[in-house]
Amino acid sequence: ATLVALISPQTWAAESMGSARAFEDSSVVIDDIQYVGNSILSEADLDKVLEIGPGDLLDRKKVLDTSKNIQDLYRSRGYDEVGIQIQLSRKPIPKTKSFDQILEIKIKEGFPIRVSEVKFAWPDGKRLGRLRSFESRFGFTPGDPLDEEKLTKGFRAIQDGLAAQDYMGAKVELKSVQITAPPSADQVSPEILESVSKWVEITVAIDMGERVTFGFQGNKVLSHQDIATLVEEQRQVGLAADYISRIQARVVEDYRKLGYDQVKIETFTFESPVEQKRHVSFKIIEGPRVQIESVRFDGHLFYSAEDLEKLFWENAVNPVSRKYYVETEVAKTAELVIEKLKANGYLSAKLISVAKTARDDGQKVELVITLSEGEQTLTERIDFPGLSVFTEAEVRQTLGTQTETPLNLFAFNEGLERLKIMYRAKGYYDLKITNEGSNSVITYIQENRRARVRLDFSEGSPSYVSHIQIEGNRKTQVEVIAREVQLKEGDLLEEPKWLETEARIRRLGLFATVNVQALPETDQPNQKILRIKVEEGSPGVLAGGLGLRNDLGARAFGQISYGNLWGRNHTASLTANANRRFGGLGSSFCASAKQKLADPNKDFCFIEFDLSLAYAYPYVFWGNTVFRPSLTGERKQLQTRMGETFDVDSIALALT
């Protein structure tokens, strides 16, 4: 079956622009996207595949691509009959004369393809035994939708089971999907039998790979557990036919990271046709931990050898800083020296080579690092045409650039990003450095020994909050969200307050998703609608369990709580723990010495418990003040330092 796209461009062209030609040339900005008819997939799932979003211009191709993406997503979940209709509608904005342009996505999900039967194709000539039990890990039962994500998880579950039985390179994949008859009525409910587009039989092909075990000898620095973990990591990423050399290379790499540059590994393999298994043994010759005896620089003209060596040790990374030789870390340290040279204006500095000479039978090395410094570049002039929001001194400090000082390109680029953040913190979201990315930002003269910096500013106008719009709260009252908003109508739209608003709403713990956007007013671009869109989460918790402890005996524990009573973010919770000592599980604790002497056969244990009922009432008095009353009760058996046992019954009320 193919997916059917039910998009009607003529309808939405008439509703939004008045004509098909206007639709093709549309300059309409989408303010919001709304879904209708989705029950299988959440809005968060659908948002991930959108090609168009709030703030984008209406674009026919993006709308068509969005429709296809949603269809493909539903199809991957087994819903091949899904239909999509997309249209544009206008929604009045309260307290304004403006309208929101809403892209409405109507979804007709239909019925899914369901699995009638799952068959497994194992390789011929293999003794399977208990391996067939791995079929239950696949996770499909008759009536389940043909969900690609669930298929992938099922394949992985079987592969993991085979890997745990030492099978290397196991592969599990879908062999065939065939339309078939429905399962018997006793396997699925009548509701499932009636809600299906077609029934299929799927066949899963299993290639067990090769059964391999590993052994290690000679390792002292890395433990057997360390090396076994490395092997398991390689299993997880999957091993090809060259798995022996890959594992060997991985072990060598870890030894060399510790400074054992002379490590060698010999490999031996043993075949067992009877058990259909191979054993691979690695003999590790660790060798000495190689130390750096000296570091010498070559090719330098401006820096002294002593200064370069000092830079090397100041920037040395572990374990090089402890004078152990690790080739990759020595190279990183040498590159850090080059970065320091560039930060001091030697922009063309480069590393040429790092050579080593072994000493004392390979236990020590001498390093020779060859580099080229190039010419130093100084900043001759700095210009900021169009700058008005900040002073030139503030911008120079932010960019880390001053006249007659070495030009540091790293600090300059990082400073440019900080400068943009500073503008957004003052409400300037339309800032443009008009010559950014061009050669005119930095021009070099005198054979790159001098540089001129120029940033052409187009600052735009600051943005203000025209009004605040809260959407998606079905249970939670508006005021619960509104009191977390750090901006109010008429305020400058400062980015730190915008981000803090979103963070505070997330910290409430009430919502699965929180999205805070600033949308432009149609007739006043510098006036922004602060739209807060939330998706309600699940505020309730129900948990419990049973257990045994050698000191407390049998235990039971549980918790029930709800975090959004009356939609006001009030939280009530009840937690309980109980235990009973008996036999060899803590019963000797129950009786004091006097009690044991008086009646050695009596069981002095009883059910111990603690209960706690708590409530949280946010914003009860002034500002963000939380009132937390709690009532606790307990019955316990305790023991003094002298070994005397006594019982405690208590009730406590706390008002904090």
Note whether 481 and 511 are within 8 A (CB): no
pTM of the model: 0.65
DSSP string, 384-399: -TT--SS-HHHHHHHH
Percent of the chain with pLDDT over 90: 64
Extract the residue ranges of the chain whose pLDDT is less than 70.
1-26, 94-97, 125-128, 236-241, 643
Owner of token pair 């249970």: 475
State how far the Cα of 540 lies from the Cα of 563, in Å rounded to an integer.
6
Note whether 348 and 357 are within 8 A (CB): no
The alpha carbons of the chain give a radius of gyration, in whole angstroms, of: 35
Domains observed in the chain: 4-108 (3.10.20.310), 113-207 (3.10.20.310), 210-285 (3.10.20.310), 291-372 (3.10.20.310), 378-458 (3.10.20.310), 467-477+494-536 (3.10.20.310), 540-655 (no CATH)
Note whether 212 and 246 are within 8 A (CB): no
Note whether 47 and 34 are within 8 A (CB): no
Owner of token pair 């998880």: 153
Can you give the pLDDT at residue 281?
93
Give me the half-sphere count of Cα atoms (radius 13 Å) on the Cβ side of residue 464: 7
Structure tokens at 435: 């010559």
Please tell me the total number of residues recorded for the chain in this structure.
656
State how far the Cα of 228 lies from the Cα of 362, in Å rounded to an integer.
28
Owner of token pair 């091949």: 80
Q: Under 8 Å CB-to-CB from 241, ≥6 apart: which residues?
A: 169
Note whether 528 and 565 are within 8 A (CB): no
Can you give the pLDDT at residue 181?
93
State how far the Cα of 56 lies from the Cα of 31, in Å rounded to an integer.
8
Q: Under 8 Å CB-to-CB from 628, ≥6 apart: which residues?
A: 614, 615, 616, 617, 654, 656
Helix (H) or strand (E) holding 72: helix 60-76
State how far the Cα of 72 lies from the Cα of 432, in Å rounded to an integer.
39
State how far the Cα of 246 lies from the Cα of 239, in Å rounded to an integer.
8
State how far the Cα of 636 lies from the Cα of 470, in Å rounded to an integer.
50
Give me the half-sphere count of Cα atoms (radius 13 Å) on the Cβ side of residue 507: 10
pLDDT tens digits, one per residue of 332-348: 999 999 999 999 999 99
Owner of token pair 């009690």: 595
The angle subtended at Cα 175 by Cα 233 and Cα 235, nearest 5°, is 5
pLDDT tens digits, one per residue of 408-430: 999 999 999 999 999 999 999 99
Can you give the pLDDT at residue 362?
85
Q: Is the dihedral of CA 415, 419, 424, 425 positive or negative?
A: positive
Query: What is the three-class DSSP state of 182?
Result: coil
